[in-house]
């Protein structure tokens, strides 16, 4: 059994704090941007047909993505997870450094911002999202580690040797579900999505990487939700589905739809 005694604040300047949660987003974006530029160089040399984006094009997209992640992630958390509280405490919505971001909201923000940029530059939407999906697990991994440091989004009761007593968990040992998610949605997803995108040349079709990402992420998230304690004010829908599971079922279905239509177009062509 492990006692959680990590401080969410790295440096406290009094009026200003540097939090691990904020750093996770900053480094997640920077490392993902670096990795995507490495991918662009690789695909330019090896002439992969499913992605044909130049570095300057993606660099210009980055600003749109950052806005999409921040506004989408926060708005998703407010609407999906704690609307009643934030509707009565409007100023709290802007305190994103304290935590409270929704992956599915951030995903929607990224989709919208990429769609806008694709229309402006007259590029194929999926050529951008395929690249984003290859690097997204980096940010997801760091975000889940930050959740663990914050002592939030913890798991259900556990007697396993690696169970953790979190500060706000009522002195009950619990699954470190944030670590489970960092492994599944971060490390394993990163390995699988990049292997499928660049090793299996039969899968080198524009949009297919995006569809596979949605399917894999959603599957791993649904598995993780089994161990995660649902939000106390939400509980389970129909006594079984957490909010994270419901949203992941939607993205899972969306991923299968993308794959289905891509395969259908391939057959017709």
d(CA 84, CA 77): 11
Q: How far apart are CA 22 and CA 98, in angstroms?
A: 8
Both tokens of 140, joined, read 């997801």
CA-CA distance, 183 to 189, in Å (whole number)?
8
> For residues 69 and 106, is the Cβ–Cβ distance under 8 A?
yes
Exposed, middle or buried by CB within 10 Å (0-12, 13-18, 19+), for 254?
middle
Do 125 and 64 touch, CB atoms closer than 8 A? Answer: no
Distances (CA, A) of 38 to 12, 54, 140, 197: 35, 11, 19, 14
| Residue 56: predicted pLDDT | 76
Of 61, 65, 53, nearest to 29 by C-alpha is 65
pLDDT, tens digit only, all 269 positions of the chain: 899 999 999 998 887 888 999 999 999 999 999 999 998 887 766 655 555 677 778 889 999 999 999 999 999 999 988 888 888 888 888 877 666 789 999 999 999 999 999 999 988 899 899 999 999 999 999 999 999 999 999 999 999 999 999 998 888 999 999 999 999 999 999 999 999 887 765 446 789 999 999 999 999 999 999 999 987 778 888 788 999 999 999 999 999 999 999 888 777 76
Residue 49 is predicted with a pLDDT of: 53
Residues 14, 15, 16, 21: what is their CA dihedral angle, to the nearest 10 degrees?
Answer: 80
The span from the CA of 250 to the CA of 196, in Å, is 23
Handedness of CA 13, 15, 19, 22 (dihedral sign): negative
pLDDT the model gives residue 204? 63
Q: In this structure, what are the phi and psi dihedrals at residue 149, rounded to the nearest 5 degrees?
A: -60, -40
Strand locations in the chain (E): 2-3, 9-12, 17-19, 164-165, 173-174
β-bridge mates for residue 241, sequence order: 237
Tokens coding 71: 């506004």
Strand order in the sheet with 164-165: 2-3, 164-165, 173-174
SS3 labels along 163-175: CEECCCCCCCEEC
Boundaries of domain holding 114: 2-268
Provide the number of structural domains found in the chain: 1
CB 258 within 8 A of CB 207: yes
């Amino acid at each position: 059994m492990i006692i959680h005694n990590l401080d969410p604040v790295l440096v406290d300047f009094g009026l200003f704090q540097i939090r691990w949660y904020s750093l996770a987003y900053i480094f997640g974006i920077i490392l993902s941007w670096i990795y995507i530029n490495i991918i662009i160089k690789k695909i330019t040399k090896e002439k992969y047909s499913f992605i044909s984006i130049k570095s300057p094009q993606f660099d210009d997209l980055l600003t749109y993505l950052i806005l999409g992640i921040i506004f989408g992630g926060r708005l998703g958390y407010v609407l999906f997870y704690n609307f009643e509280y934030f509707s009565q405490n409007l100023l709290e919505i802007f305190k994103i450094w304290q935590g409270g971001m929704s992956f599915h909201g951030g995903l929607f923000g990224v989709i919208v911002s990429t769609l806008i940029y694709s229309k402006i530059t007259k590029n194929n939407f999926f050529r951008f999202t395929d690249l984003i999906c290859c690097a997204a697990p980096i940010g997801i991994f760091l975000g889940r580690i930050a959740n663990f440091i914050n002592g939030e989004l913890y798991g259900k009761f556990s007697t396993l040797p690696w169970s953790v007593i979190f500060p706000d968990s009522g002195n009950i040992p619990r699954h470190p579900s944030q670590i489970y998610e960092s492994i599944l949605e971060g490390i394993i997803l990163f390995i699988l999505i990049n292997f499928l995108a660049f090793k299996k040349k039969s899968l080198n079709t524009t949009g297919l990487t995006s569809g596979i990402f949605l399917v894999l992420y959603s599957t791993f998230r649904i598995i993780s939700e089994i161990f995660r304690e649902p939000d106390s004010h939400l509980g389970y829908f129909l006594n079984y589905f957490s909010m994270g599971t419901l949203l992941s079922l939607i993205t899972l279905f969306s991923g299968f739809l993308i794959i289905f239509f891509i395969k259908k177009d391939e057959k017709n062509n």
